[in-house]
A and B are shown apart, each in its own frame.
Chain A
Amino acid sequence: MTDLTDLGVKAIRDGVAAGTFSAREVAEAFNANVAAAQDALNAFIVATPEKALEAAEAVDAARAKGETLGKMAGVPIGMKDLFATQGVQTTAASHILEGFIPQYESTVSANLWKAGAGMLGKLNLDQFAMGSSNETSYFGNVISPWRKQGSNAGLAPGGSSGGSSAAVAARLCPAATGTDTGGSIRQPAAFTGITGIKPTYGRCSRWGIVAFASSLDQAGPMARDVTDCAIMLEAMAGFDPKDSTSLNLTVPEWTDGLDADMSGHRVGIPKEYRMEGTDPDILESWDNGIAWLRDAGAEIVEVSLPHTKYALPAYYIVAPAEASSNLARYDGVRYGLRDLPEGANLQEMYAATRAAGFGDEVKRRIMIGTYVLSAGFYDAYYNQAQRVRTLISQDFKAAFEHCDVILAPTTPTASFPLGDKSDDPLAMYLNDVFAVPASLAGLPAMSVPAGLNKDGLPLGLQLIGKAFDEQGVLNAGLAIEQRAGFTARPEKWW
């Protein structure tokens, strides 16, 4: 019999609906994988096997009664611990929220439960989603299930959705939620050989997601393949009146619209992404991607995104600025950690609580953000960065006059050993150099596996679409997926 944990979203959903296996059997199989891998991979902060079983039983019962099943019926998933889950600890991987149990459910997770999904647990991440390697988590870093050929060194699963990427790659869940502020879905997906899409800003409600940078944060699915991502994104997305920036648009039937025939479509290759010093393996996979899309019928055109080099600096002003304000609420007054030294006054309580509660990277970004918003620096930094952001958006608009979708690498390198960049924030930030422009412009972007490098590590290709054109992104992704023939999976060592 097939190992149920080898199945993806569509296969599980269809199998449950057909009665090939029960949702409960699926949940049990994944629960077992979660438990078995926890010590080695540290992908989950909290496992919730009972939640997975409860949801599975509800689906089995509904099926028995002949009820219509939801898009995700019987599919157990991992939930990034940035989504508030009612009655289940929600920490953003920070000490400051340790023990915090929300009385509310985020809109995205609620949508998924409504669609019949169940929760295997809360996935580890970089603290407050700030990081690219999962090393900033208060609960210990996640370890990638992948290893370099001939090495046992622990590798970064990417970040910030590193628990999500590791868990999907290691078959601990068929799919997981991620959030992407400046690459946090795409980069970990690329590092672990899975597929992840950040939809257009506003597609998924931010209500109930612990905020990092409000104007950039966007939830999306991480799964084995393009189809699974399309199914899950349909379940996650939708207008939410509780989020003022939510898009008031009907959610398209992306899954039904999947079509890998690229004839009549133009694919843009941004020349500025061909940066000096980019890993030759990456450049090679990019060329492969171009060939695959041409093979799928696409016309390949060179496009220019002239302000690309300013994207990363602008991002590292805008995101920390918003974060410095968004994280002010963690003050020890109402919930979460409170450190009240003997005889301390209010200011001293704030200082002690935040010093003890936030990790170094979070503190670094709060300080950067506070600095760039300060009187006398605001125009030079924040306003300037906003102007750059406008230029980046205009770059994309101009490029999309010549093409329908853009193809680029997801990351400048494959996964790196844990500890390699943790002392060098700038080197770490450079990981997101290809991911950040689409975030600043609010565009849909996805990473699909493109092959392995010479060390046997996965590489991802990124597709960036026009605003609201997730379909174009998914279709180009599917065309690559069908030609890349990516079947590699990490050898089980845990």
Chain B
Amino acid sequence: MSSYRIQGVTGEWEVVIGLEVHAQVTSNAKLFSGASTEFGAEPNAQVSLVDAAMPGMLPVPNRECIRQAVRTGMAIEAQINKWSRFDRKNYFYADLPQGYQISQLYHPLVGEGSLLIEADEKAGIPADKRIGIERIHVEQDAGKLMHDQHPTMSYVDLNRSGVALMEIVSKPDMRSPAEAGAYVRKLRSILRYVGSCDGNMEQGSMRADVNVSVRKPGDEFGTRTETKNVNSVRFVMAVIEQEARRQVDLIEDGGKVVQETRLYDPDRNETRSMRSKEDAHDYRYFPDPDLLPLDLDDDFLVECRESLPELPDAKKRRYVEELGLSEYNATQLTAEVEGFRRFEDVLSATASALGKGDKDVATQVANWTLSVAPGVLNALGDEAKVENNTAAASAAILKMQDAGEISGGQAKEIYEIVLKTGREPTEIAETEGLKQLSDTGAIESVIDEVLANNADKVEEYRGGKDKLFGFFVGQTMKALQGKGNPAVVNQILKDKLG
């Protein structure tokens, strides 16, 4: 149970949150027309006759969009409805050429499912929690109005008109901004694993309508408000905080929450009313007579399921159970697509370079990809060239480190040069002298010299002053210009000092 509470003058309040996430389906073409969906084209460059709702134009469902929505449904372990149907949602607006949006009200493609958000003590999520998902339906996006191009007129850009969206509707299962944030992050991660949405919130590929109500713990649900088109995880959390606070204050001042649509203003960090239920549209939903119901056959569903990749929860479990990674590392590595891809690339390259099993090198690779490599990359900033950051290079470095040829510090230095120049790690180690000295003979002679020059200290050490061991190591390493293999140095010193 979330312990998130809003302190009011009448006591503690609990917030109840449901999210409707609109995710743009990754597809080259729109939901019902062949027009392109690429982001950033000139206004109205990607508009077909269907998107512009010319007379006599008809929608034809894009199979790939349906496929992606079905795969998404499978990824949240949802009921897939083999029979579904498109409905028209009728309203007039300049960004809606047909005068209706083709959506699915009565018979959505995907029914109930759920996703898991993980315990995060620091964020106030004490235990793993499953958040219910009511449905996923497929619908068309609208175009965009531009109000700043002309003093008295608005311009219309229809590039987005007809682009396929999945509307993923959660149950009112979340009880804190942190849970909502975790839900959106997890959903985004799943969508990106599946490849059904790029999850790019800045470009509007993913946005959320945030439903918020408050109640005294244990009471019935209160009246909810819906804040539309919130386009970042941070804003989703801010909306919940602001809206819950506003509702509590309102109720405690003797007012009533009205069911309404609100907008979030990030600059002022507040929500404000857009329209109330009274002047809400009557959308006159009815089945779209231009389209036949979707009737999915078994082959199609089998292909959808078989094409699903390993998903975050399963991957994490495997990392822990089969690769022996810590829970923490496994969570970190599987949170984002980029993370696990990088890890798995370096893992297989390293394992084969070392001729070892994945499990034998997994922890080493995890540490490398989670902390060492990002540290170097971040420090370099723009100097690092992405194309130089190959799995093979990382594997070569890890191999040298594993063999004791280079130290951890040298590994970072070599990696830095690799990122800047693309040179071979082994060549860098040779040429730049970034190698540990492991030759016992050479180290022995240096140690002999150090011990001879510090006979008094040797006496003291042998007399019981153990702390002096570090001094001998330091002197030896200094003499070896830092390139001595610490393990070898330590071993020989121990032997010689007796």
Cβ A370 vs Cβ B56 within 8 A: no
Cβ A328 vs Cβ B90 within 8 A: yes
Please give, as numbers and ranges, the residues of chain A lying within 8 Å of B156 by CB-CB distance.
Answer: 333-334
With A92-B55, A102-B55, A329-B98: A244-B61 Cβ-Cβ less than 8 Å? yes
Where chain A touches its partner, the secondary structure class is loop
Cβ B55 vs Cβ A90 within 8 A: yes
Nearest chain B residue, comparing its CB with the CB of A245: B292
Residues facing A in B49-63 (CB within 8 A) are 49, 52-61
Nearest chain A residue, comparing its CB with the CB of B99: A328
Contact partner, A214, options B49, B92, B289, Cβ 8 Å? B289
B100 interfacial by beta-carbon distance below 8 Å: yes
Distance in Å: Cβ of A92 to nearest Cβ of chain B: 7
Nearest chain A residue, comparing its CB with the CB of B98: A329
Nearest chain B residue, comparing its CB with the CB of A376: B282
The docked-state distance in angstroms from the alpha carbon of A104 to that of B58 is 13
The docked-state distance in angstroms from the alpha carbon of A322 to that of B94 is 21
Distance in Å: Cβ of A469 to nearest Cβ of chain B: 21
Q: Determine which residue in B56, B61, B285, B291 has the highest number of CB atoms from chain A within 10 A of its CB, and name it.
A: B56
The docked-state distance in angstroms from the alpha carbon of A325 to that of B94 is 15
A-binding residues in B (CB < 8 A): 49, 52-61, 88, 90, 92-94, 97-100, 154, 156, 282, 284-286, 289-292
Cβ B289 vs Cβ A322 within 8 A: yes
Contact partner, A328, options B52, B54, B98, B291, Cβ 8 Å? B98
With A241-B60, A244-B292, A382-B286: A210-B55 Cβ-Cβ less than 8 Å? yes
Which range holds the interface residue count of chain A?
Answer: 35 or more
A378 interfacial by beta-carbon distance below 8 Å: yes
Distance in Å: Cβ of B107 to nearest Cβ of chain A: 14
B-binding residues in A (CB < 8 A): 83-84, 90, 92, 97, 100, 102-104, 106, 206-211, 213-215, 241-245, 321-322, 324-325, 327-329, 331, 333-335, 346-347, 350, 370, 373-375, 378, 382
Distance in Å: Cβ of B109 to nearest Cβ of chain A: 16
Cβ A244 vs Cβ B290 within 8 A: yes
Please give, as numbers and ranges, the residues of chain B lying within 8 Å of A213 by CB-CB distance.
Answer: 289
Cβ B92 vs Cβ A209 within 8 A: no
Nearest chain A residue, comparing its CB with the CB of B292: A244
Please give, as numbers and ranges, the residues of chain B lying within 8 Å of A374 by CB-CB distance.
Answer: 282, 284
Nearest chain A residue, comparing its CB with the CB of B291: A244
Nearest chain B residue, comparing its CB with the CB of A354: B92
Please give, as numbers and ranges, the residues of chain A lying within 8 Å of B53 by CB-CB distance.
Answer: 329, 334
The docked-state distance in angstroms from the alpha carbon of A84 to that of B55 is 8
Contact partner, B58, options A102, A243, A322, A334, Cβ 8 Å? A243
The docked-state distance in angstroms from the alpha carbon of A207 to that of B33 is 13
Contact partner, A210, options B56, B90, B99, Cβ 8 Å? B56
The docked-state distance in angstroms from the alpha carbon of A382 to that of B56 is 23
Cβ A331 vs Cβ B60 within 8 A: no
The docked-state distance in angstroms from the alpha carbon of A243 to that of B282 is 29
Nearest chain B residue, comparing its CB with the CB of A106: B56
Contact partner, A242, options B58, B93, B99, B291, Cβ 8 Å? B58
Contact partner, B100, options A90, A103, A328, A334, Cβ 8 Å? A328
Please give, as numbers and ranges, the residues of chain A lying within 8 Å of B49 by CB-CB distance.
Answer: 103-104
Distance in Å: Cβ of A62 to nearest Cβ of chain B: 29
Cβ B58 vs Cβ A206 within 8 A: yes
Please give, as numbers and ranges, the residues of chain B lying within 8 Å of A334 by CB-CB distance.
Answer: 52-54, 97, 156
Please give, as numbers and ranges, the residues of chain B lying within 8 Å of A350 by CB-CB distance.
Answer: 92
Can you give 17 A-B contacts (C-beta < 8 A)?
A84-B54, A92-B55, A103-B49, A103-B54, A104-B49, A106-B56, A208-B57, A210-B55, A241-B60, A244-B59, A244-B60, A245-B291, A329-B55, A329-B98, A333-B97, A346-B93, A346-B94
With A84-B56, A207-B57, A334-B52: A375-B99 Cβ-Cβ less than 8 Å? no
Please give, as numbers and ranges, the residues of chain B lying within 8 Å of A325 by CB-CB distance.
Answer: 88, 90, 99-100, 284, 286
Nearest chain B residue, comparing its CB with the CB of A214: B289
Nearest chain A residue, comparing its CB with the CB of B89: A325
The docked-state distance in angstroms from the alpha carbon of A267 to that of B53 is 44
Please give, as numbers and ranges, the residues of chain A lying within 8 Å of B100 by CB-CB distance.
Answer: 325, 328
- Other CB < 8 Å A-B pairs besides A92-B55, A206-B58, A373-B90, 9 of them? A97-B55, A100-B55, A210-B55, A244-B61, A244-B292, A322-B289, A325-B88, A325-B99, A375-B282
